[in-house]
Amino acid sequence: MHCCLRVFYCFLAAGKPQASTRCSNRNTPPSFQEPRELQCGQTLTDIQQNLNGSADLETLAASAQMLTSQPEDLTAEEVTTAAQIADTLLSSENVSQSVREAAVATVSQILNANQSDNIQENNATLRLTQTLSSLSVNLSLISNDSKLVQPNIVVQSAQISAADTQGVQFTALSGTSGSFVADRIQLDTNTSAIAVETGFIADAVVYLQFAPGEFPQ
C-alpha cells in the first residue's frame, strides 16, 4: 500500500473545513495521524494576530491550511493574509517540519485562488516568493527532509560537493493528476547532460552545469 504524507482530508460543516488529518507512510503499515480541529469561527486574521505570541504554531499552520483549502472562495484580502501567514511561518527559526509542510500546502492552495490586481496581495506574494527562495537554499541544512511537495509547488534543497559533480538536474515527471507528486520528483546530483528516463515525460526540468575548475577544491 502506498500512502503519501501530504494527502489532505477535510470534514466539512456548512461548507467550511472543521478538521484535517494526514495519511503518513513513515510507519509500516501506513496510518492516519491524529486529526487537527479548527476552532469554530476562527479566521485567517485571527491566525495572523496570534503568530507572534506563544500560540501553538503547528495548530495555527494547520488551521491556515484548512481555511485556504477552498481557494476559489477566498477574497483578495484573505489571499493576502494567507500569504503573509505562510511567509511568517516559513521565515521563523526552529519551526517543525510539519509547520513547513502546512505552510507550503497553504501556498499551493492560494495559487489556485482567483487572479487579482490588488497591490497589497502582490507585495505579500513577492515577499513570500523571496522567502521560498531562501528556504530552497537552506532546507537541507535545517531539516532531515530536504523536499516539500504540494500539488502546485515543490521546494527542494541539496548539499552537493562541487568537486564531485558535473551538473545537477531537477526533474518533475508527468503523472495522471496533472500536479506535482512527491515520488515523481527526482534530483540527480551528478550528471553531464539533461536526461529523462525512457518511457517517462517531464513536466519540468532544471539543469545546472558546472564548468571544470569553476569552484575551488
State yes or no: pLDDT of 6 exceeds 60. no
What's the pLDDT tens digit per position in 9-60?
444 445 666 666 666 655 567 666 666 666 667 899 999 999 986 678 999 9
Q: Which long-range contacts (CB under 8 A, 24 or more apart) does 129-133 make?
A: 131/87, 131/90, 131/91, 132/90, 132/107
For the chain, the structural domain boundaries read 7-146, 160-209
Instruction: Round to whole Å and give the CA distance between 79 and 85.
Output: 10
What's the pLDDT tens digit per position in 181-215?
988 999 998 999 999 988 899 999 999 888 765 55
pLDDT band at 5 (very low <50, low <70, confident <90, very high): very low
- pLDDT: which is higher, 130 or 120: 130
Handedness of CA 72, 74, 80, 86 (dihedral sign): negative
Q: Which ranges of 70-118 does DSSP label H, i.e. alpha helix?
A: 76-91, 97-110
